[in-house]
Chains A and B, each alone.
Chain A
């Protein structure tokens, strides 16, 4: 019994140690959340205000001033990420001249470099983030970097890449997809159909015929859907 009691005592010590570690992490996480939330909210508000002023700037010199200010307040990695998130939000929610201005700002500040760096990161979720950011910003130059990810070992990376290449190059993207013989989930198909719905340019009959001849069963059924829902010229 003495040996057994010592064993129980050891387990209790381990459990208490873990309990204390968990408690410390919980309190630290909460403390961090309170500090972080305040900082993030302030930074986000500032970036949003500046971006709103930027798209409504009356003169080019005024825009330039705001741009410089944005560069100045976005030095660290988290600051740059907040800027990128807000630029993507503005780009997604505005159209016309404002959207073009935001896109120019994105290109001039080379914010795409943050996303491209994520594509090269070994963590699958960072790759996904990078793909989504680049496709949201319609950064067509990243197309060739995303295509190889269609064969990535992670299913979620592949799925996001499939949607992104259609988002970036519409029919051409579909052509590249058709070369793949892998199955496509309903989620991916529905997302692609929705992207093509939103797109002002429609598929030509020839492009659709090419899809119908694809080796991939998923592409053939996607082609049938596209035809059925009048997404062709």
Chain B
């Protein structure tokens, strides 16, 4: 009797893991197919696009760039200078100093000749009190506004910035990222082109900037990171953005616009209630809320991703910081999915409820948990001496070969489209790293996700945690800390 129960459980786990593995692979192949179609269309369409008309036009929609800053004293002056030189005619930059404890504010006042301004901020969205609003006396920096406020975290800072902004569109950026010159032009294009559907947000592809040559807030030369961990993340980012986000963009099922760089319809953001200050996954949560609002309004809408590399960010170089980051991402995913659980397989939300949400639930949230459970189960089987080793090796080779095939497909997309890594040795390195990633890097991300689940459900952790940056190659390599 007992043996039959063991056999039943064993069969259930065997077939469960087996079917889950096949379903996740099918889902990813489906996404990759969609990505290929949309990127091909984008490249064909944009081969002959003439941006100059929009660049020079005073009628181009006004954009407010919102950049929250906390203890960014090392690079804040340079980062603002890079934002000031973006190619767009009609924009303003709102730097939100979120109660920094370092000399960020003094440095900005000195560098940009800032003086207190008497303007009032509307209170559409709640946030911590504002100490002062500064504008520059120098007409060269007339686009710059600095909002100094009490510390309240990234979401709180963004909400304050949204209140101050008067533009139709808001670009939420991480102040420490390097934004490409023409990024705003490319991001605003879908908003201007939409006729039948309302464009509510666009996102830009983010790339890893570690060891790239950066000067005056610009990427001068793209290099691959020298350290192994950022190298793994380079392959991961190419795969996630080119094969993942682009596919969801085609299906109009995006649930997230990267917090590093996204452009949003301000009016809708305000109507949706702005950024949620109680979650660590505020970027995903806002997008889901905006989409729900559009469903409630019964209006046709779209969210798009631009496949061009528009934003360069610094990836964690140490395992400890990477685990912290992924832990936070996992908690953010859980918080968003649980906050909007009424969407799960809810046909009222169309593709969002029937495909996007279940995908995130089964393949983003549950995948590491199932993988970890599988490992524990495997451990028990080894201990009991019940392992069918032939079957085990086959399953392992199956997962490994899929992972490598998928990464190589992403590299193929990169090679035949944007070719950011122009040196042949970089290409060969990426191909080689894709072979190592499933063995050496993937387990770290699974472990971080497990920790994230533990922190969320057992420790009830709600904070961002300390985030450490080392700065880009050209900047001062001292360590900056960010605790929101």
Contacts and interface: CB of A to CB of B under 8 A. Distances in A.
Interface stretch (A49-57, A106-114, A181-189): A181-189
Given A26-B411, A156-B45, A16 B53 contact: no
Interface of A is mostly: helix
B480 interface: no
Nearest to B403: A15
Contacts of B412: 22, 25-26, 29
Interface in A29-80: 29-30, 33-34
Contacts of A33: 419
A19 B18 contact: no
A187 B189 contact: yes
B54 interface: yes
Contacts of A156: 45
B388 interface: yes
Interface string A192-221: 011100000000000000000000000000
B427 to A, nearest CB: 6
Contact of B53 (A12, A18, A183, A194): A194
B394 A183 contact: no
Contacts of A193: 57, 59
B48 A5 contact: no
User: Quick one: which of B22, B59, B196, B388 has the most chain A CB within 10 A?
Assistant: B59
B118 interface: no
B401 interface: yes
Contacts of B60: 190
B278 interface: no
Interface in B188-213: 189, 191-196
Contacts of B192: 185-187, 190
Given A12-B401, A190-B53, A225-B59, A1 B415 contact: no
B45 A5 contact: no
Given A5-B391, A125-B47, A30 B398 contact: no
A113 B436 CA distance: 52
A138 interface: no
A5 B394 contact: yes
Given A12-B398, A15-B401, A1 B53 contact: no
A175 interface: no
Contacts of A186: 61, 191-193
A41 to B, nearest CB: 14
Contacts of A159: 193
B84 interface: no
A160 B398 contact: no
Contacts of A145: none
Interface string B381-406: 00000001011001101100110110
B60 to A, nearest CB: 7
Given A1-B388, A22-B408, A33-B419, A190 B45 contact: no
A187 B53 CA distance: 9
Contacts of B397: 12
B416 interface: yes
Contacts of A84: none
A15 B194 CA distance: 39
Nearest to B414: A26
Given A132-B48, A194-B53, A16 B401 contact: yes
A5 B427 contact: no
A124 B44 CA distance: 9
B214 interface: no
Given A12-B401, A22-B408, A185-B192, A190 B394 contact: no
A33 B418 CA distance: 12
B50 interface: yes
B227 interface: no
Contacts of A229: 59
B453 to A, nearest CB: 29
Contact of A19 (B47, B390, B404): B404
B59 A185 contact: no
B462 interface: no
A105 B360 CA distance: 58
B424 interface: yes
Nearest to B57: A190
A185 B408 contact: no
B56 interface: yes
B409 interface: yes
Contacts of B45: 125, 128, 156
B354 interface: no
Contacts of B229: none
B431 interface: yes
Which 4 pairs from chain A and chain B are nearest by CB? A125-B44, A194-B53, A187-B192, A19-B405
Given A190-B54, A191-B53, 4 more contacts: A129-B48, A185-B193, A187-B192, A190-B59
